[in-house]
Amino acid sequence: MVFQVRPGRASDTDGKTALHVLLWQRALDPERGKWSLPGGRLGADEDLTSSVRRQLAEKVDLRQLAHLEQLAVFSDPARVPGPRTIASSFLGLVPSPATPELPPDTRWHPVSDLPEMAFDHGPMVEHARNRLVAKLSYTNIGFALAPNEFALSTLRDIYSAALGHHVDATNLQRVLERRQVITRTGTTARSGRSGGRPAALYRFTESRYRVTDEFAALRPPG
């Protein structure tokens, strides 16, 4: 599953950003016309991670892939028709401003409004989304969804879209600064046309996945 936070079509979400997943539409039976996760067969000389990178290269520019991590295995003998196939699912993340070229059969879909999915791919996306939400709470995985430099309000929008609930920029700042997950660059952004104080810019301290705090935070409001 490759995820990205990107602006929805205006009709969808009032122009707000939302978490999207990369899918391609099957041209052949079985399940022709339904939407599938990118993937393919494991080669004899590669490990799973290399294989995933190879498969994804056909769908998305790999330089954009900031994080890739194995999630789960689906091994039900009847999970797909035909010869027995075991699927190992991966979580891939693309930073927000990037807009990789896509082949014609491939599109970003908002996770809140998925099309009819092939095989067991629907539950797979569900599972991956849950893992992403959890990991945003106790790791620095946000680095793989955010631009290199960003204002806190931008980061708030990204976290908010990925988590699926409102996020307070103030608290996000304090949580991530305390854990030293983000660092001020010292520079500031220019304020927009409509005025407002210029925002301080931040970057993620590290660009490698790291568990920063086993004690979860960023839980839904209430």
Q: Which residues bind a copy of itself (CB under 8 A)?
A: 42, 44-49, 70, 72-73, 75-77, 84, 86, 88, 134, 137, 214-216, 219
Picked from DNA, a copy of itself, none, the partner binding residue 91 (CB below 5 to 8 A depending on kind) is none
Please state, in angstroms and rounded to a whole number, the distance separating the CA atoms of residues 116 and 125: 12
Out of 151, 164, 203, 205, the only residue in the binding site for DNA (CB under 7 A) is 151
Please state, in angstroms and rounded to a whole number, the distance separating the CA atoms of residues 82 and 37: 18
Query: With b meaning 16 or more CB within 10 Å and e meaning fewer, what string describes 89-127?
Result: bbbbbbbbeeebeeeeebebbbbeeeeebbbebbebbeb
Is residue 198 within the footprint of DNA (CB under 7 A)?
Answer: yes
| Omega before residue 104 within 30° of 0, cis | no
Out of 116, 186, 190, 214, the only residue in the binding site for DNA (CB under 7 A) is 190
Give the range of 3-11, 57-65, 124-132, 212-220 binding DNA by CB under 7 A.
Answer: 212-220
Look up residue 185 and give its two tokens.
């660059």
Structural contact between residues 142 and 158, judged by C-beta atoms closer than 8 angstroms: yes
Nearer to DNA, 71 or 199 (CB): 199
Taking the complex as a whole, the smallest distance from the CB of residue 149 to a copy of itself amounts, in Å, to 30
Residues that bind DNA (CB under 7 A): 151-153, 168-171, 173-175, 178-179, 188, 190-200, 213, 215, 217-219, 221-222
